[in-house]
């Protein structure tokens, strides 16, 4: 897929991607509200993916009806892979991770996905990479060791860490599949059909219409635990403000900035999650863990920019 040069206002592009990262980071906190109020992770994932599909379908109906055309040939394999791994798998594992880990750690581990992409490109595809890939990998690994304080035993939930790592692998699959030529399919068409596949997948596991807990009152948790809202209100915010809105902001950003720039600036999301976790849930990290977070973020940015040929990819799927 040939990258197209960015057009329009660079400042506007940065504003779009920063706002998207802020919404994604805040969404981790909002997602906890229905999850902690009795909605199980499988049902939550089904409702979120199905709700996002409904919004995407409405947007396509209003702006790009050609997106409803059925995929053909290799496009079918592409949307199947994106739907099962890049959307359903990523959403499912991410939801487990944010429910069991501090927000900052869950997102930090998930955002190692771009590092796995570059390792795959180097050792499986045998494409050349910049020499800075190796210090990038070292920074990320040392940073994770500091965050997890491995010298005193892993400080976080093992299942949560495994889920975050699995989410990162699904994230990598999304990037790798998103680089493939989609032929006549536009980005909206690819995402729409990927969400169709994802919605079918998650509803086979747990139908969205079984979400009988969303009518209950839900505490806003953390420092706001004295306040409550109907769980469906928080769920609607997850679908609209935490999923479709930031996704379309990234699409808009790609009209003004190169895909690689958008991907790197989107790394603000894990940093934003640290702030959300501290302000909302009183989550705190020791100074050595903060240093680890900074090392991981530095390693991710270096890894993101280490490929000699930077293909245009789909924007990151909402998390």
Residues 238-281 have pLDDT tens digits of 999 988 888 778 777 877 877 667 777 777 888 888 888 889 99
Cα 270 to Cα 14: distance, rounded to the nearest angstrom: 17
Cα pseudo-dihedral 216, 221, 224, 227, rounded to 10: 10
| pLDDT above 90 (res 109) | no
Q: Is residue 312 part of a domain?
A: no
Determine the pLDDT at residue 236: 94
Q: What is the pTM of this model?
A: 0.81
b/e map of 296-312 (b: 16 or more CB within 10 Å)? bbbbbbbbbbbbeebbe
Domain that holds residue 17: 10-304
Determine the pLDDT at residue 307: 67
Q: Is residue 259 part of a domain?
A: yes
Q: Is residue 131 part of a domain?
A: yes
Q: Is residue 135 part of a domain?
A: yes
Backbone angles phi, psi at 40, to 5 degrees: -75, 160
Who has greater pLDDT, 18 or 268? 18
| pLDDT above 90 (res 4) | no
Who has greater pLDDT, 6 or 132? 132
Lowest-confidence region among 11-20, 31-40, 220-229? 11-20
Reported as a pLDDT band with limits 50, 70 and 90, residue 221 is: very high
Tens-place pLDDT, residues 26-75: 999 999 999 999 899 999 999 999 999 999 999 999 999 999 999 988 89
Cα 168 to Cα 163: distance, rounded to the nearest angstrom: 9
Cα 275 to Cα 249: distance, rounded to the nearest angstrom: 21
- Tokens 């991907």, located at residue: 263
Cα 16 to Cα 234: distance, rounded to the nearest angstrom: 23
For residue 295, the tally of other CB atoms under 10 A from its CB is: 20
Please answer whether residues 95 and 242 qualify as being in contact, where contact means their C-beta atoms are separated by less than 8 angstroms: no
Reported as a pLDDT band with limits 50, 70 and 90, residue 197 is: very high
Determine the pLDDT at residue 314: 64
- Tokens 């491995």, located at residue: 150
Q: Is residue 176 part of a domain?
A: yes
Tens-place pLDDT, residues 289-306: 888 888 888 887 887 777
DSSP 210: G
Determine the pLDDT at residue 150: 64
| Structural element, H or E, at residue 9 | none
Q: Is residue 1 part of a domain?
A: no
Q: How many domains does the structure of the chain reveal?
A: 1
| pLDDT above 60 (res 158) | yes
Determine the pLDDT at residue 151: 64
Averaged over 195-215, what is the pLDDT? 92
Who has greater pLDDT, 42 or 284? 42
What is the average pLDDT value for the chain, to the nearest integer? 84
Determine the pLDDT at residue 312: 60
Q: Is residue 310 part of a domain?
A: no
Q: Is residue 319 part of a domain?
A: no
């Amino acid at each position: 897929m040939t990258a197209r040069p960015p057009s329009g206002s660079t400042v506007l592009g940065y504003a779009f991607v920063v706002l998207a990262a802020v919404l994604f980071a805040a969404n981790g906190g909002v997602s906890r509200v229905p999850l902690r109020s009795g909605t199980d992770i499988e049902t939550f994932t089904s409702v979120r993916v199905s709700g996002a599909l409904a919004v995407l379908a409405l947007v396509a109906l209003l702006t790009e009806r050609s997106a409803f055309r059925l995929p053909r040939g290799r496009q079918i394999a592409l949307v199947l892979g994106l739907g099962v791994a890049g959307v359903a798998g990523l959403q499912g594992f991410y939801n487990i991770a944010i429910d069991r880990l501090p927000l900052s750690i869950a997102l930090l581990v998930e955002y190692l996905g771009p590092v796995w992409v570059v390792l795959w490109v180097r050792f499986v595809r045998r494409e050349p990479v910049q020499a800075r890939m190796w210090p990038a990998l070292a920074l990320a690994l040392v940073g994770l060791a500091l965050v997890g304080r491995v010298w005193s035993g892993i400080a976080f939930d093992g299942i949560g860490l495994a889920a975050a790592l699995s989410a990162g692998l699904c994230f990598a699959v999304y990037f790798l599949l998103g680089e493939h030529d989609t032929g006549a399919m536009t980005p909206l068409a690819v995402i729409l059909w990927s969400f169709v596949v994802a919605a079918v997948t998650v509803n086979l596991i747990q139908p969205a219409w079984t979400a009988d807990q969303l009518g209950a009152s839900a505490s806003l948790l953390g420092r706001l635990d004295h306040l409550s809202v109907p769980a469906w209100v928080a769920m609607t915010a997850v679908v609209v403000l935490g999923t479709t809105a930031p996704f379309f902001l990234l699409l808009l950003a790609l009209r003004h900035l190169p895909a690689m720039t958008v991907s790197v600036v989107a790394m603000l999301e894990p940093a934003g999650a640290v702030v959300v976790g501290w302000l909302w849930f009183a989550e705190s990290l020791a100074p050595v863990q903060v240093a680890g977070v900074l090392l991981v973020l530095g390693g991710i940015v270096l890894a993101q920019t280490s490929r000699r040929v930077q293909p245009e990819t789909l924007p990151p799927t909402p998390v």
